[in-house]
Amino acid sequence: MTASKRIFLVLLGPPGSGKGTQARRLQEHLGIPQVSTGDLFRCNVKAETPLGVLAKRYMDKGELVPDKVTIRMVAQRLQEEDCANGAILDGFPRNLIQASALDELLAADGGVALVVWFNASDEEVMNRITGRRVCRSCGQVYHMMFNPPQQEGVCDVDGGELYLRADDQPETVKNRLYVYYKQSSPLVGYYYAKGLLAEVDGSQSPDAVTEAFLTLLKSHGYL
Ligand code: ADP
Ligand code: ADP
């Protein structure tokens, strides 16, 4: 990775495919932060900001938050100091409008460097999402079976309470999967056509996915 160029990676994949888990692991290797639009919205919901109040209406139904506010939020986030060398975009873009807005935002940096597509079956992601538990205070993510905390219901990192996200209930997840196939999956073709798409088998164990991801980054010269 050259010192002067900012590197922007996009993680694409259905809800529950492991984007957040891998983004958190990869930020140490790459020295650039994870920027998760879902996390940013959840922080705003928790703080009851006007953005949070608006976003919650859509999140609770498993719908996308309107593009205009989402794009503005990401544009502001990418101007922050910790993004000086780039970022790992987790959950953005999620449709073609957001993808072309991102192209414009990153025009001076040569655009998106690489898009990693996490492929996993509906059954697998459904199992993962319904078992996902998140720390109320620090946002650390667990899974009741695949990645349980040491003590049930308690975060290993800061002792916070673990909760099931409101939008991780099976009925809402079904709609989120529908929204993914309808609005987000066209991005696979969009980035493929640009020669930026790389696929990782997201159904493997977390360590195997990380290994595949690192190999990919090395082969593209980012590590
Ligand atoms: P997951 O990690 O399970 O894919 P996220 O945490 O990324 O879910 O997103 C949770 C919710 O936040 C989405 O269902 C949607 O309502 C909202 N959201 C997140 N990212 C975006 C985005 N790029 N555009 C619009 N809405 C978004
Ligand atoms: P996403 O950000 O794509 O919605 P997460 O990273 O939050 O996905 O993962 C969804 C759930 O599945 C979490 O509970 C997480 O602990 C678990 N998980 C993540 N990756 C794997 C994996 N490779 N195998 C099994 N469980 C996983």
pLDDT(3) > 50: no
| pLDDT above 90: percentage of residues in the chain | 98
pLDDT(1) > 50: no
Residues 151-173 have pLDDT tens digits of 999 999 999 999 999 999 999 99
Could you give all domains of the chain from N- to C-terminal order, each with its CATH number?
A: 7-121+172-219 (3.40.50.300)
Residues 34-51 have pLDDT tens digits of 999 999 999 999 999 999
Euclidean distance between CA atoms 58 and 27, whole angstroms: 29
C-alpha 116: how far from chain center = 11
- Cite the active site residues: 19, 94, 132, 165, 176
Q: What is the pLDDT of residue 5?
A: 80
Q: Give 37 Cα–ligand 1 centroid separation in angstroms.
A: 6
Euclidean distance between CA atoms 187 and 185, whole angstroms: 5
pLDDT(2) > 80: no
DSSP 103-124: HHHTGGGTS--EEEEEE--HHH
Mean pLDDT of the chain: 96
Model confidence at 4, pLDDT cuts 50, 70, 90, reads low
Binding-site residues, ligand 2, Cβ < 6 A: 13, 15-21, 128, 131-132, 141-143, 146-147, 205-206, 209
Q: What is the pTM of this model?
A: 0.97
Q: State which ligand 1 atom lies nearest to the alpha carbon of 59.
A: 16
pLDDT(211) > 90: yes
Could you give the angle at the alpha carbon of 137 between the alpha carbons of 133 and 138, nearest 5°? 80
Please give the single-letter amino acid code of residue 92.
F
